[in-house]
Structure 1
Amino acid sequence: MKNDRQNFVLFAVIAALILFGWPLIQNRFFPTANPPATKMVDGKQVALPPKPGADPTADSPAAVRDRRVVLAESPRVQIETPTLRGSINLRGARIDDLVLVGYKETVARNSDPIRLLSPAGAPQAYFAGFGWRAEGLTPPAADAVWTASSQKLAPGQPVMLTTTNATGQRFGIQLAVDDGYMFTVRQTVQNAGQRPVPVAAYGYVNRSGVSKDPDSWTIHTGPMSVANGAANYKPDFKDVDAGPQRFTTQGGWLGFTDKYWLTALIPDQAATFDGQFRAGANSAYQADFAVQPRVVAPGRSLTQTSRFFAGAKEVRLLDRYTDDQGVAKLDYAIDWGWFRIVEKPIFYYLDWIFRHVFNFGIAIILLTLTIRLLLFPIAQRQFASMAAMRAIQPKMKALQERYKDDKVRMQQEVMALYKQEKVNPLAGCLPTLIQIPIFYALYKVLMLTIEMRHQPFVGWIKDLSAPDPATIINLFGLIPFTPPHFLAIGVVPVLLGISMYFQFKLNPQAMDETQKQVFAFLPWVLMFVMAPFAVGLQVYWITTNCVSILQQRLLYARHPGLKEPVKK
């Protein structure tokens, strides 16, 4: 009895540590979900405004002005594609005005589209530009006004920007864009001067402040590159603050990645280039590259081609650019991690289901049913093993009592008993072990892929990648009180706790009283632990529990020995 009380107290302490300590480490190692897309106010669901960002820019803080004012200060070429809207700044030949028409800031119907790029001098400046090194060549000034061949850039309608210098060189930047998020940049120098000139093209991306999305152990945001055949998720912003981060490679790319958005400079994949990340004034960060110089004789010209990706990290699109257009590991901009081999097939299957049922919540349920169907033969063996283990419990207890003072002999006798009865004690663990990478893979899919962002399910669930907004403790928003993180229990987590309770009730009853008490409390502890996670993950677990309950009833009929009390 004393040991039972001690075990129960130990379990209570562990449960308290899980409830109160887990939130302190989860955001660093396992971020639970995206920020809520809605909240309950007076019993009604209201879309939350976009998350505010920092205002520091590449220019002086005093120069920060309204974006519309800044855009009107220079001549521009309009960008119009099925996925992008914006403009090119002819002063400095910058791509500095870009919104993603297919994605909104919030789930509200009148929400603005996601703004990715913004001009210098405006809040949250973020822009890209291309030019030439001033090493033996006099390139156009940073504020030079270029001449455009057309007033609109669209798929199949490239635009040529041109200007000249005082020494006889003519510079051209031809910009083309596809129906996705890829710009092709052809930089040409025509040497009409009297002497040879070295020509080395470069490109840069400049952004103000760090990413709004936190960088964690499982999800990288910030500077990223692919160099020498490897994807590099280092350095981070703090490393860049400490000093420039440089590398040289043939093929690859570099840029800045947020959870869902990416800007990437992609030099000619057959060329060797120098890349670097560096910090500037007023919390500005820059990624840039420069190719090796080549000498252009008088009367000759040189064209150097690169590409620039600016858009959403859509899985199929990144795979297309990687596989069909030869951009080295652009698909690694999505930080799949160690379980990539499991996560991508699960995503593609889930996305395939979604394209047929048009609801990701239903797709998750069908994915779960598929997984459980595939695991059914293993589950049958698990239950058979559990029945056999339960049948030999009296013999095991007798051996433990007989050899309690000789642990080595006891282990030998137990193993001999397993062999004699043809029982494998690890067989019951196999389905659980298989479920772990599947569960983690779905977690990563919900957290990483933009295809899951703002995907509704039913009723009040407007975003499967966010926690359940219908918190019970404040009566669904009727009480003007925001519960703390560990008490923000919604309806879906409660359903998860109930499903776990009934599943545990169907499990074979433990002989030890402490174990019975632990299993009685465990569903409700896990309910609190899972509450902050994405609703889609909870839907998966609830479906798994419900299928397990039906499966257990079926298998109990085949193995009635599991329901019988253990003989003493």
Structure 2
Amino acid sequence: MNEQKNLILAIVLSAVVLFGWSAISERYFPTANPPATKIEDGKEVVIPKPGADPAADTITAIRDRATVLGETPRVPIRTDRLTGSINLTGARIDDLVLTNYRETIAKGSPNIRLLSPSGSPKAYFAGFGWSGASGLPGPDTVWQAPQGAVLSVGKPVTLTSANAGGQSFAITIAIDEDYMFTVTQRVTNGGTQALVARPYGLVSRVGASTDPDSWTAHVGPMGVFDDRVNDVNWEDVREAANRTMDFTSTGGWLGFSDKYWLTALVAGKGTPIEASFRQSSGDRFQADAAGKPAIVGPGQAASSSMRLFAGAKETALLDHYMDDTGVPLFDRAIDWGWFDFIAKPIFYLLDWLFRMFGNFGVAIIGLTVIVRILLFPIANKQFASMARMRQIQPRMKAIQERHKEDKLRMQQEMMALYKTEKVNPMAGCLPILLQIPIFYALYKVLLLTIEMRHQPFVLWIRDLSAPDPMTPLNLFGLLDFTPPQFIAIGVLPILLGITMWLQQKLNPQPMDEIQAKVFGIMPWIFMFIMAPFAAGLQLYWTVNNIISIGQQYVLIRKHPAPAADTVIEATATPAPAPTRPARRKK
């Protein structure tokens, strides 16, 4: 009867862990990218990316992007990493495609489009200008550009405009070999009255990002003001007074961060700015930064400069802009979290291994081996202690049977046995504790870094940042049935569960029956828990388990458990010595 109760309790506790984790992970620990492929009729096919969101000024304003692009005069943008155009109406950078990245892993998949003009799907653009007086260029001003101008690396483009009062305006846009634009604004007062002009830059998008914003991976408005990172949620802006959040700073940057992409305004070092995040009708979000107003007298001129980053959040590139060009805390555009001091070195080690082997899956296996080597002295002590625990486990069982009615005495004799045999039952905890930040750091690398996006391993695993797509639940795709993600357990999670179970079998078994049953079920619970996580994380854990099994097997053979009769003889309670009857006094 007690065994049935223990089994039921173990099952209930396991169910609480399984379903409780699922509820927590949805909010705090997003698992992986959406699956990149699926198995149909035994063949791997690429999953198409869902259609574009209805993101534009208003629902009725959404029109074909090509139509919108053709309605205004434009200056082409051509670099090795970017293509697009500058809208001469309003001096907007509103057409930008990243040529090194594609929507899916399918052959011929379109490139990532980052910016789109107002009135088209996914409207998202950057603009520059002045505020503060009448006669200044506005969003409807059509700027002039040199005939045949093309913005490219080393070939900036200057847009010009003038008003009837004799004031002229110029915006010079330059671009580097990556994703950084430099925008220099200049106003020249050829009139008879002083002119007050305040330069500004803005980034506008309609609708929040489709990437999930979670506790471990921030997506949305963000900025660095006076060397402090401000992660702002979409709802924070919607619920702010007047739907506006204001900041002041000297230098810094602000914009919108997606999972892999960033569009941000960068103020000059030491330049005072007033910055804001705003939300307006049509679910439009805006990040803007304004410099100090300039009073430009007759015959005088004033200029200011601001940069715009619009591209992929590549780790080394963000570090370059931070270290070499002075953009403060630009690396924090990637939400490394608490363990950034571990996560970034792990990323750079993975990247180095990738460049050595040419395969990120092999790089993850190499990382696992390196971590195990670094932790070998501690792990070796752990396994030696566990081997000793296996040796004395029959004696522990004997103590448990002998004092099952006296728990206090049983604990006292257990502690005495540990002390005599010099065994620490908690020795196995330290390597596990040391692995937690490493495992979490790898989780962040696989979840957030664009370098891991769409990276294949072997066979059917074509994206290590997405879950393993092959599951036996539909006979590996032979059945016309797509299991729900919760139960679609791939091959790698199954291997993870099996290796975890084998590893447990080599460990000393818990003395408590309920604990032993829970531990026996946990490998299969973790098989379900890890199924929706990135295949790269599953690969790391599985390889780690295999190495642990090998190490444990060697140590068990080195320290075999004693024979049962020897244990019984050593732990048997000695019979009391005979006593002579007391002599009666005469």
Normalised-by-shorter TM-score class? over 0.9
**What is the deviation of 1:426?**
2.9
Q: Aligned partners of 1:396 and 1:46: how far apart in 2?
A: 54
**What is the deviation of 1:26?**
1.3
TM-score normalized by the length of structure 2: 0.91
**Residue number in structure 2 paired with 1:321:** 321
**Residue number in structure 2 paired with 1:110:** 108
Q: Aligned partners of 2:426 and 2:500: how far apart in 1?
A: 22
SS at 1:32's partner residue? coil
Q: Which has the larger radius of gyration?
A: 2
* Aligned: 1:136 with 2:125: no
Q: Once the two structures are superposed, what CA deviation does each residue of 1:155-202 show, in whole Å capped at 9, x if it has no partner?
A: 101000110122221111100001110000101111111122222210
Q: Once the two structures are superposed, what CA deviation does each residue of 1:49-103 show, in whole Å capped at 9, x if it has no partner?
A: 1133421312x32121100011111111111111111000011110000010000
Contact 1:137 1:199 in 2 (8 A): no
**Residue number in structure 2 paired with 1:210:** 208
Contact 1:88 1:96 in 2 (8 A): yes
**Residue number in structure 1 paired with 2:179:** 181
Percent identical pairs in the alignment equals 56
Contact 2:391 2:560 in 1 (8 A): no
**Residue number in structure 2 paired with 1:69:** 67
Contact 2:343 2:444 in 1 (8 A): yes
Q: Which blocks of at least 5 consecutive residues in structure 1 are unaligned?
A: none
Q: Aligned partners of 2:446 and 2:511: how far apart in 1?
A: 39
**What is the deviation of 1:366?**
0.5
SS at 2:224's partner residue? strand
User: 1:392-541 maps to which residues of 2 (within 5 A)?
Assistant: 394=395, 398=399, 418=418, 421-541=421-541
Contact 2:278 2:285 in 1 (8 A): yes
Q: Aligned partners of 2:397 and 2:563: how far apart in 1?
A: 19
**What is the deviation of 1:505?**
2.1
**Residue number in structure 2 paired with 1:553:** 553
Contact 2:14 2:518 in 1 (8 A): no
Q: Aligned partners of 1:424 and 1:414: how far apart in 2?
A: 11
Q: Aligned partners of 1:458 and 1:395: how far apart in 2?
A: 47
C-alpha change, 1:329 and 1:566, in structure 2 (3 Å) is farther
Q: Aligned partners of 1:563 and 1:374: how far apart in 2?
A: 35
Q: Aligned partners of 1:332 and 1:562: how far apart in 2?
A: 56
Q: How large is the Cα RMSD of the aligned pairs?
A: 2.3
**What is the deviation of 1:48?**
1.2
C-alpha change, 1:502 and 1:389, in structure 2 (3 Å) is closer
Q: Aligned partners of 1:474 and 1:419: how far apart in 2?
A: 53
**What is the deviation of 1:215?**
0.5
Q: Aligned partners of 2:563 and 2:34: how far apart in 1?
A: 44
**Residue number in structure 2 paired with 1:50:** 49
Contact 1:182 1:309 in 2 (8 A): yes
**Residue number in structure 1 paired with 2:37:** 38
Contact 1:390 1:566 in 2 (8 A): no
Q: Aligned partners of 1:561 and 1:489: how far apart in 2?
A: 37
Q: Aligned partners of 2:422 and 2:500: how far apart in 1?
A: 31
Letter in 2 for 1:105: E
Contact 1:248 1:273 in 2 (8 A): yes
Q: Once the two structures are superposed, what CA deviation does each residue of 1:345-366 show, in whole Å capped at 9, x if it has no partner?
A: 0000000000111100000001
Q: Aligned partners of 1:170 and 1:291: how far apart in 2?
A: 19
Q: Aligned partners of 2:107 and 2:562: how far apart in 1?
A: 54
Contact 1:78 1:86 in 2 (8 A): yes
Q: Once the two structures are superposed, what CA deviation does each residue of 1:330-351 show, in whole Å capped at 9, x if it has no partner?
A: 1100001101111000000000
Q: Aligned partners of 1:158 and 1:85: how far apart in 2?
A: 15
Q: Which blocks of at least 5 consecutive residues in structure 2 are unaligned?
A: 572-586
Question: 219, 222, 229: which is aligned to 1:221?
Answer: 219
C-alpha change, 1:513 and 1:416, in structure 2 (3 Å) is closer
**What is the deviation of 1:19?**
3.2
TM-score normalized by the length of structure 1: 0.94
Aligned residues: 563
C-alpha change, 1:246 and 1:199, in structure 2 (3 Å) is same
C-alpha change, 1:374 and 1:566, in structure 2 (3 Å) is farther
C-alpha change, 1:273 and 1:541, in structure 2 (3 Å) is same
**What is the deviation of 1:264?**
0.4
Letter in 1 for 2:12: V
C-alpha change, 1:219 and 1:397, in structure 2 (3 Å) is farther
**Residue number in structure 1 paired with 2:157:** 159
SS at 1:153's partner residue? coil
Letter in 2 for 1:26: S
SS at 1:486's partner residue? coil
Q: Aligned partners of 1:352 and 1:117: how far apart in 2?
A: 32
Contact 1:20 1:486 in 2 (8 A): no
**What is the deviation of 1:276?**
0.6
> Which stretch of structure 1 is more off in the superposition, 510-519 or 73-82?
510-519
**Residue number in structure 2 paired with 1:29:** 28
SS at 1:15's partner residue? helix
Contact 1:137 1:198 in 2 (8 A): no
**What is the deviation of 1:381?**
0.7
Contact 2:39 2:45 in 1 (8 A): yes
SS at 2:339's partner residue? helix
SS at 2:108's partner residue? coil
**What is the deviation of 1:244?**
0.5
Letter in 1 for 2:136: P
Q: Aligned partners of 2:226 and 2:531: how far apart in 1?
A: 42
C-alpha change, 1:170 and 1:411, in structure 2 (3 Å) is farther
Q: Aligned partners of 1:326 and 1:424: how far apart in 2?
A: 51
Contact 2:56 2:206 in 1 (8 A): yes
SS at 2:455's partner residue? coil
SS at 1:532's partner residue? coil
SS at 2:518's partner residue? helix
